[in-house]
Chain A
Amino acid sequence: MKPLKLSVSGVRGIVGQAITPELIINFASAFGTMVPAGPVLVGRDSRNSSPMLTDGVISALLATGHEVIDLGLCPTPITQFLVKNKGARGAVSVTAGHNPASWNALNFINSQGTYLNEFQGQELLDIYHLGRFKQLALKKTPKIIRELNPEEPYLEWLLGRLDLPPIKRAKFRIVVDPTNGAASKLIDKLFDLLGVQLIAINNEGNGYFPHDPEPRPRNAIEVSSLVKITTADIGFLLNSDASRLSLVSEDGETLSEEYTLPLIARYYLKKQPGPVVTNLSTSMMIDQVAREQNLPVIRTRVGQSAIIQAMLEEKASLAGEGSGGLAFDYFQPAFDALVTMALYLEMMAVEGEKLSTLVKRLPRYHIVKDSLVCPAYRLHTLVAEVKKLYKGLEINQLDGLRLEKKDLWVHVRASTTEPLIRVIAESTSQHRAQMEVDRVMAYLRRLTA
């Protein structure tokens, strides 16, 4: 079994198994065939395999008649920003975000700088499956423009949109772990411009992942101890392409990635009121924050593509997921951990509050997550079977099954990145959440036994 996951916005798998040069060239050729002639950006994270994928992508884009702007090592949100900034037809970001080092992926970005929406994704797959790609005779040497400092226009734009004076006055000391990913070194520039004292670890951009590049408490232990030792104001942990973020409070508490969205929401929504988009698996904390300001919360399928599509359709102000990926309408419709970090500093500076105090203001929920390995071809049938457990209840089937009972919700869905069924429940009571997950897991295990 070679796990290969196609999602609306890209293709993901283990390098050398599902991810081969030919597959990469075929997908990038489909993308090059789909987007109209003109420049296409290519950025990558720091993974060992990323130059291999990038070479395949560039050859396919050249063969389908595009001019390539090679951004080199570049976080996905910056690549997304540059699409419009450079008037490109689209972009390919080579990164598997939070997946382990053995994985990699192509993420396709449209001319608006957002992940392909479901219609564009469908068109891409149709072209891929049809296998008839545009082929140019290449009578002239096609152009590859190497962009040496792709982050500069982005940083200028970002700083122009922040409330800078309070951030500079606050003279923060922060700890950041970019997990040797695409944002390494670049954070030096960003926080220097913000007048922040930066203590960085895993800041080499060499693709060596000292822990899985997934921002979550179990990977934040180094950040936590450094925050305590250096008496820093906050700690940040990024994924490999700086699209997701998790936090460590000034007392060293490693906060669940579920906190990244609700903790900033109150401050940001006050400045930019509007609907909030999140997915079906994200904590109810955000509902409470939105309710305080009389703003609606719209829940969609899981994944950046679906979230951003809804954000644009609903003219939402804020969109984000419990995985720590956040998009701010005032900035750009893309999961952007660099914007998110800057906004956290702005909030702390303007409100003059410690992060731990802000955490205490949020209602305490308990979220319990579990998963069951299951053959890919049975994923969706098994998920549907779980309906039998909840006869008589109203079931949301937008993405697997989600249902709400008094003081509790549970979400059962097929993973889009691995052959897994995920079971998630949240409640004010740890016990009730755990009981519900256990009940579903026991039922699923009986079915697979």
Chain B
Amino acid sequence: MRKILPLKVSVSGVRGIVGESLTPQLAARFVSAFGTYLGQGQVLVGQDSRPSGLMLKKAVMAGLLATGCQPVEVGLLPLPTILFLTKKRQARGAVVITASHNPFNWNGLKFIGQDGLYLRSSEVEEFLDIFHQGEFTYVPAERIKPVLSEKEAGYLHLRRIFSQIKVKEIKKKKFRLVADCANGAGATLLPRFLQELGAEVRFINTELSGKFAHQSEPTPENLKELGHEVRAFQADLGLAQDADADRLALVDEQGQPLGEDATLTLSVDHVLSRKKGPVVVNLSSSMVIEDIARKYGVRVYRTKIGESNVVEKMLETRAVVGGEGNGGVIWPAVHPCRDSFTAAGLILEKLSSFPGSISQLMATYPRYYLLKDKFDCPAELAFKVVTELRRRYQQENISTLDGLKIIWGEAWVHLRPSNTEPIMRVIAEARSPEKARELLERFKGEIEQILKQMS
């Protein structure tokens, strides 16, 4: 097993351990490269609640100022809010000081481009080339701009969502909710958001000390506390944001987690019921999306894993809704990015128009079972495994867009070598848990056999 390196550079930015790999020098160099890449203009600067955020922010400011950009401090705000504001303010880009759900001692920088979109892979390449060449465009002293600071900017994002959903209908229902902010930046805006939707809400994990009460992956384990609170509070619904507040997981009125795909399922159905148009989801999202799309007679596009891939395809196909099965809902009517606030708004609106509980609503959709697993597999072998399996299954309906996905009517399996770790992910979905388990085991067995043959 390869050692986990304390510094990671990926399409969405850089992450590292403060005091080891993520130094103010490194931050300033990355931001100087980013400022050089963007050219001079306004750049939003946001951060999460980690204690090292202040130190890194100062280094980020120095890098932006030196390259002639005008930093606009927006402070502690959810990621989708910062993406939205980048477009709203017509800024050149944004830098967010966050390491999402990584442990406490980590931090990182996320780089956001024009129109509030993540950089495309070709753009990332260009930006990283500048970083590696180390030739930054510093401006002379007289062209250094003053720092701006925006307070209350977050509300603009909420107002945008309110303008797109039926606030009155939702208010009428006087929902009882429990919301878990996972000690993330969502806590800065979610109380106000739900309050203005007329809901009575119990909040958990809203302290922004930079320490996380639980991991933000929406596993049953991490949703336990929320489920318990939902029962105790006799709530209609439980909402769980992740640390960046871009994804949303749901717990029904009985305190049961609704499964990863529920958020996207409900949102896609609801948006399509209001406006028909193409849908874009990644390869690992549930087949229920196709079922829903068929109902409205619209097309589904599948993309590689990764938010920026989904967004790119959505903009290209003028999709009305899209997202990822892990709770990331993208509704371009608000902003083309994963947004837990948008998702919460859509789901509450959907629920307000349904004469029953959330579990009854979920029962109206075809039920699928999604199982995930991963196992160690060195990157160079992963490629060979995928090639061999593709040869074996070439008669089937396959997609090689991202690893290998094999689809049989009402079931599929997706094999994907990870970009960041020496592991292979296997995801299987079917109409019954047994069938999904059987598929998963079958492919694990095949892969193990191929690996044995090769070594």
Contacts and interface: CB of A to CB of B under 8 A. Distances in A.
A140 interface: yes
B32 A22 contact: yes
Nearest to B29: A22
Given A20-B66, A25-B25, A135-B23, A15 B58 contact: no
Nearest to A47: B141
A137 B142 CA distance: 36
Contact of A25 (B28, B138, B139): B28
A10 to B, nearest CB: 17
A25 B51 contact: no
Interface string B390-402: 0000000000000
Contacts of B305: none
Contact of B141 (A16, A22, A24, A142): A16
Interface string B138-151: 11111010110000
B56 interface: yes
Interface stretch (A56-64, A378-386, A397-405, A407-415): A56-64
A48 B142 contact: yes
Contact of B55 (A14, A48, A51, A62): A62
Contact of A55 (B20, B23, B59, B138): B59
A182 to B, nearest CB: 16
A56 B58 contact: yes
A33 to B, nearest CB: 12
B51 A52 contact: no
Size class of the contact patch on chain A:
35 or more
A101 B19 CA distance: 35
Interface in A1-46: 14-17, 20-22, 24-26, 29
B12 interface: no
A447 interface: no
Contacts, number: 125
Interface string B12-28: 00000111100111011
A142 B51 CA distance: 7
Q: Is the interface of A mostly helix, strand, loop or mixed?
A: mixed
B146 A51 contact: yes
A60 B62 CA distance: 11
Contact of A29 (B24, B56, B105, B146): B24
A16 B25 CA distance: 16
Nearest to B35: A21
A42 B27 CA distance: 21
A138 B232 CA distance: 38
B331 interface: no
Nearest to B21: A135
Size class of the contact patch on chain B:
35 or more
B55 A55 contact: no
B135 to A, nearest CB: 11
Contact of A60 (B20, B24, B65, B105): B24
Contacts of A138: 18-19, 51-52, 55
A204 B144 CA distance: 18
Interface in B32-61: 32, 51-59, 61
Contacts of A62: 24, 54-55, 58
Given A16-B138, A25-B24, A26-B25, A56 B146 contact: no
B19 A136 contact: yes
Contacts of B138: 15-17, 20
A285 interface: no
A137 B28 contact: no
Q: Is the interface of B mostly helix, strand, loop or mixed?
A: helix
Contacts of A49: 65, 141, 144
B63 interface: yes
A271 interface: no
B136 interface: yes
Contacts of B136: 20
Nearest to B53: A141
Contacts of B59: 21, 25, 55-56, 59-60
A243 interface: no
B365 interface: no
Interface in B235-294: none
Contacts of B32: 20-22
Interface in B208-255: 210
Nearest to B49: A141
B183 to A, nearest CB: 14
A21 B66 CA distance: 7
Contacts of B20: 135, 137
A298 interface: no
Contacts of B144: 15, 48-49, 51-52
B18 A137 contact: yes
B443 interface: no
A137 B107 CA distance: 10
B104 interface: yes
A22 B142 contact: no
B44 to A, nearest CB: 16
Contacts of B65: 21, 49, 51-52, 55
A15 B138 CA distance: 8
A101 B23 contact: no
Given A22-B29, A29-B25, A140-B51, A102 B62 contact: no
A338 to B, nearest CB: 25
- A21, A62, A101, A103, most chain B CB atoms within 10 A: A21
Contacts of B210: 141
B66 A142 contact: no
Contacts of A51: 61, 65, 144, 146-147
A104 B141 contact: yes
B58 A59 contact: yes
Contacts of A133: 23
- B24, B32, B59, most chain A CB atoms within 10 A: B24
6 contacts: A26-B25, A52-B61, A55-B62, A56-B28, A135-B23, A137-B19
Across the A-B interface, give the 7 residue pairs with the lowest CB-CB distance, nearest first: A59-B58, A16-B138, A137-B19, A52-B65, A56-B62, A62-B55, A21-B62
Interface of A: 14-17, 20-22, 24-26, 29, 47-49, 51-53, 55-56, 58-60, 62-63, 101-104, 133, 135-142, 144
Given A49-B141, A136-B18, 6 more contacts: A15-B144, A25-B24, A48-B142, A59-B58, A63-B24, A141-B51
